[in-house]
Structure 1
Amino acid sequence: MTSGGDDVRLVAGRYQLGNRLGRGGMGTVWRAYDQMLAREVAAKELNVASDDREYQRRLRRAQREARTVARVHHPHVVGVHDLVEHDDRLWIVMELIDGPNLARRIADDGPLTPRHTAALGLQLLGALEAVHAAGALHRDVKPANVLLRRDGSAVLTDFGIAALEDDESLTTTGELLGSIGYMAPERLTAEEVGPPSDLWSLGATLSAVASGVPPFQRATGAAALHAVTFADPEIPERVGPLRPIIEALLNKSPGRRPSAATIGAALRRVADGAEDPGPLPPADTAGDFPATAMDAAATPTDAAGTPTLTAPPTVTTPHSLSGPPTPTAPHTLAGSPTLAGPPSLDREPTVIDKAAASSPPRPRGRSRARTWWWTAGATLAVAALAAGLFFAFGPPSNGDGGDDAAQPSGTSTSKVTVDAGRGWQSATSSPIQKGDRVSVRYTSGTWTVDSTNLPLVGPLGHTAADDQSLRFAWEDCKVKPDVTFGALLGRYPGNPGNPHAVRRAWSFQATRSGTLQLRPNDREGCLDDNKGALTLTVQITH
């Protein structure tokens, strides 16, 4: 770092550093002055390790952050100006937002009213739509990563862990990046992560901003991990009409969360003073609500119709997701009530779990012995995962939910238990006939393929990190090689996908008469150390 005087510090001969604005897991942010363009900026100094491999990894991540933000032009997304290397350090030069982050604002002044929170939510939703339309995910939406301009408008920042959809993942196997209490549950499993994950984080943020308490706040990181993946959110009464919106966004199943258009309409109603946010159908059954760029960036099953990119909002007026900005007066963010004692909106730490970097297992015949070199982050993550990383969903039913609930004519529903210690197991008491429509849905339960070393999980199977730890057994013990150990599998005569990865649900039409069979992804001869069982609901329409 060059110096033009005792108190002058220059980066790349151009950016004069001032006071430190903040520090996080990815680096330190400084106020700086761009001498070439005569303007104030924010310079983010990336934390860089000394070894070459770590340096290159952080260099790629910094480049990714810069590319992500540079592709997004939106009034509620922080702008990036430059990416430089200086004195073996990486620097991202960004737009300077001269205001506090939302977590600090709430800690100092107390939670916002539901109307103010909804107005902020509209701005952040527009920012996320722009991010997703650029083919990126933010992955760390939380109050601490929302800056407030002097006029009270919100700016989404800190894309340090954003992942571009068209680029290879830079997250090492088993590494969890993000803040636990705002991290979507599918990020803790082998399930695909997409735009609905950012919507989950938005829901957790709205709850924290309107109540002062994050919905999954717990005394320890391990307990928070377990709460995110298993427990219902704790949403105080003071969130008022935002409650249905928050509950819908925090649905454990990504496909059951509402679309951005639905959420935008609901938030607009609350911001305008309505006590009822209106209907909140899930994205896969959104019906009359128009598709958006958010839906286009989601998986095919989440998209509905042809995606449309809506006009960007202005800074001073709440935006419309189905047309141009509305000409209404801005929702002011000033004058929020205060609470006694500052709440903590970001007390769960950012987790970087290096558990997967442990020594490779030493096979002893069929046993899956593992040696863990624990770090503090790994202890948090694995302890929580061992507590049970699975989702509990009720089965579809047209009756009272019992095993023999009344069904429409020609439809039968039954429950079946699939044991982790057995191979293929029949899922019906009588053969399925050609032409029958069959639906299999996970109801409850957990299992594991290694009761000595691995946690109990649900139908998605073990995490990618745990699956990698059993790599030595893939060839001998996996039924379906491209699916993680412990994932629920199904097969039916003549089905081209046999064996099929059922996961949470599977529907098909029988092309011939036969018997439906289910099992864990673990072969015969490898089942002696398995434990647990899953309960499934099987519905057959003749």
Structure 2
Amino acid sequence: MLTGRESRRDRVTSGGDDMRLIAGRYQLGDRLGRGGMGTVWRAYDQMLAREVAAKELHVASDDHEHHRRLRRAQREARTVARLRHPHVVGVHDLVEHDDRLWIVMELIDGPSLARRIADSGPLPPRHTAALGLQLLGALEAVHAAGALHRDIKPANILLRGDGSAVLTDFGIAALEDDESLTTTGELLGSIGYMAPERLTAEEVGPPSDLWSLGATLSAVASGVPPFQRPTGAAALHAVTFADPVIPERVGPLRPIVQALLNKSPAQRPSAATLRTALRRVADGADDPGPLPPAAPAGPVRTPGPVRTPGPVRTPGPVRTPGPVPAPGPVRTPGGDADTPADLADTPTMTATPTMSATPTAGAPHTVTGTPTLDRGPTLISAPTRTQTQTPDLDRDPTLVAPAGPPPPRSRGRARTWWWTAGATLAVAGLATALFFTFGPPSDSEDDASPVTSTAKVTVDAARGWQSATTATVRKGDKVSVRYTTGTWTVDAANLPLVGPVGHTRADDETLRFAWRDCKVDSAVPFGALLGRYPGNPRNPHAVGRAWHFQATRPGSLQLRINDGEGCLHDNRGAITVTVQITR
């Protein structure tokens, strides 16, 4: 988003240079990445003379939200701290400093698996199977500790210098000994990697994590997530009802992926069966062998004390066929500064779990010429109204759903989905009817024979002011600018793609340090679509999804993203608008 923004942020934490020493022990260095829960910094542990990763929790302005995030961060730290496994990131410390919570973790000197695939392409099936064995061992340790990870995807898997995989980002894990996120009203995760039983508010357990592992294996071996769709709504429907798209290049992993992506948790193979199958493929076999379904197992209980306070010991690391190159910046848990499009995350949605929610904003980004897998804009939907935005192909849709009583089993998933789909289509139909009945807003009815010219204009996120008209607008012309399609971001490494309204308030707050230097209009969020025209009472004008005005003088209409000159180098994406001029 800006040349030097990283360096400015690196010099500033919550209060200036005097705050660089956290808890009198951890000296902050470079910012390594930003995730949904916090910002990750390289830090130096002065007491033990070693480098670590320090995750700073993003603090909300609302007191309730602040405490909720603190609880979630503590939950993340406790989850990981109880594990002792070579393929699970290590947690060293949990400190509170100046009303902020910091999780001090092992520093992983390597990229995320998402970045590795974006840079070098999909991995061979044999190599993918070897990494799958490591991740399976990590998940068994997580499950043995009474937890579920719930957000397994390439962006949350880091690679050490020797190529081994490390499972990170336990921010939404469900614990037996702590308040479950489902009881506080939320379900989080990335839609394309989320088991269907989670989307339909049914019981979840270890098989749900195995589903996510199956989706990850397919994406890693093919470069394409098995449920990748152009919109969040389509991805949600695909996960719930459609068969996965598994390219031929996954080879002998195909039966494994198909078994893991079975819609019924009871029909998925057990961890033991999966281990045998993955080992066969990792050893070079053309056939993974039989993959019978596991015996039905109950869900992981979220309330109640943990009965195994000691560290969980699990089998040691699994060797990969060969080291995985680890180009690019240091990657650390909880922040994905360099995660590519479809491998990272996707749109976020808020919906009631008693029905399949329809995403309503943004979606995954796509890295041109490079296979993609997972991260993206925020989608918010409710059963009473629906918004729609172009998905960002850089991520897989993420779901945030207020908890509620699950629907009666007799209704089934199909009825749930079509209830929501019907409501959505009804709203869309009403909007279309209103549009074609009344047409775009007009400032007057005086023109006897108006002449209207219409043009599609694409506004690039990486450029400043751009002309939106090929000819000069005349005095008295009625101008209409309407958002058509597209998404963009002011920070491709750390923030999701969004539409013309710009980044969310929470994301905008994380960039407060750059408001003065980089915002063109300080009153609206980064990423908002701005317009200007000579004589307009307010220049620049926040366009949003539509802008209508009558020209008071001749001039040229210009549009741009809300991000200043010198701050555009890490912007990505473009937005297309329809410009109508009536004279």
TM-score higher than 0.5: yes
Match of 1:345 in 2: 342
**Can you list the C-alpha shifts for 1:263-320, whole angstroms capped at 9, x where unaligned?**
00000000000000000000028xxxxxxxxx79769xxxxxxxxx9973333x44xx
- How far 1:193 moved relative to its partner? 1.0
Instruction: Point out where structure 1 has 5 or more consecutive residues left out of the alignment.
Output: 286-294, 300-308, 319-329, 337-341, 357-371, 387-439, 457-542
Shift of 1:174: 5.8
1:253 and 1:384 map into 2 onto residues whose CA distance is 29
Find the counterpart in structure 1 of residue 316 from structure 2. Answer: 314
Q: Provide the C-alpha distance between the structure 2 equivalents of 1:208 and 1:47, rounded to a whole number of angstroms.
A: 30
Indicate the percent of aligned positions where both proteins have the same amino acid. 74
Counting only pairs closer than 5 Å after superposition, residues 481-496 of structure 1 correspond to structure 2 as none
From 49, 62, 66, the equivalent of 2:73 is 62
CA distance in 1, matches of 2:64, 2:80: 25
Q: Distance in 2 between matches of 1:384 and 1:206?
A: 33
Q: Which amino acid aligns with 1:130?
A: A
- Which residue number in structure 2 is paired with residue 37 of structure 1? 48
- The answer to which structure, 1 or 2, has the higher relative contact order (CA under 8 A, 6+ apart) is 2
Equivalence map 1:414-433=2 (5 Å): none
Distance 1:31 1:157 in 2: 16
The 1:152/1:172 distance shift into structure 2, 3 A limit, reads same
CA–CA separation in structure 1 for the residues paired with 2:104 and 2:387: 38
- TM, length-normalised to structure 1: 0.59
Distance 2:421 2:41 in 1: 48
Tell me how far 1:51 sits from its aligned partner: 1.8
Counterpart code for 1:234: V
Residue type of the alignment partner of 2:104 = V
Match of 1:334?
Answer: 324
| Cα pair distance change 1:87/1:8, threshold 3 Å | closer
Establish whether residue 208 from structure 1 lines up as the match of residue 210 from structure 2. Answer: no
What is the rounded CA distance, in whole Å, between the counterparts of 1:37 and 1:445 in structure 2? 56
**Alpha-carbon spacing, 1:264–1:455, altered in 2? closer, same or farther (3 Å):** farther
Alignment match, 2:486: none
What letter is aligned with 1:148?
L
Which one of the candidate residues 76, 84, 96 is aligned to 1:73?
84
Shift of 1:441: 10
Q: Which runs of 4+ in 1 moved over 6 A?
A: 1-5, 380-386, 440-444, 447-456
Displacement of 1:137:
0.6
- Which whole-Å CA distance do the structure 2 matches of 1:384 and 1:121 have between them? 38
**Is the alpha carbon distance of 1:451 and 1:274 closer, same or farther for their aligned partners in structure 2, counting shifts above 3 Å?**
closer
Determine the C-alpha separation between the residues in 1 that align with 2:106 and 2:20: 19
Q: Which amino acid aligns with 2:277?
A: A
Q: Distance in 2 between matches of 1:448 and 1:98?
A: 43
- The question of whether the paired residues in 2 share the 8 Å contact of 1:69 and 1:80 is answered with yes
Match for residue 129 of structure 2 among 111, 118, 123 = 118
Q: Does 1:101 align with 2:103?
A: no
Q: Which runs of 5+ in 2 are unaligned?
A: 1-11, 302-310, 327-338, 362-377, 389-408, 426-583
Any residues of structure 2 matched to 1:45-444 within 5 Å, and which? 45-171=56-182, 175-284=186-295, 312-315=314-317, 317-318=318-319, 330-334=320-324, 344-346=341-343, 348-349=345-346, 351-353=348-350, 377-379=379-381
CA deviation string 1:487-537 (max 9, x = no partner)? xxxxxxxxxxxxxxxxxxxxxxxxxxxxxxxxxxxxxxxxxxxxxxxxxxx
Deviations 1:436-482 (A, max 9, x none): xxxx99999636897898689xxxxxxxxxxxxxxxxxxxxxxxxxx
8 Å CA contact 1:70–1:80 kept in 2: the answer is: yes
Letter in 2 for 1:11: I
Tell me if the contact between 1:118 and 1:268 (Cα under 8 Å) persists in the aligned partners: yes
Instruction: Pick closer, same or farther for the CA change 1:171–1:20 going to 2, 3 Å.
Output: farther
3-state DSSP class of the match of 1:20? Answer: strand
Asked if structure 2 preserves the Cα contact closer than 8 Å seen for 1:76 and 1:123, the reply is yes
1:9 to partner: Cα distance: 1.3
Q: Name the CA shift for 1:99/1:249 in 2 (closer, same or farther; >3 Å).
A: same
Of 170-179 and 151-160, the range deviating more from structure 2: 170-179
Matched residue type, 2:64: R
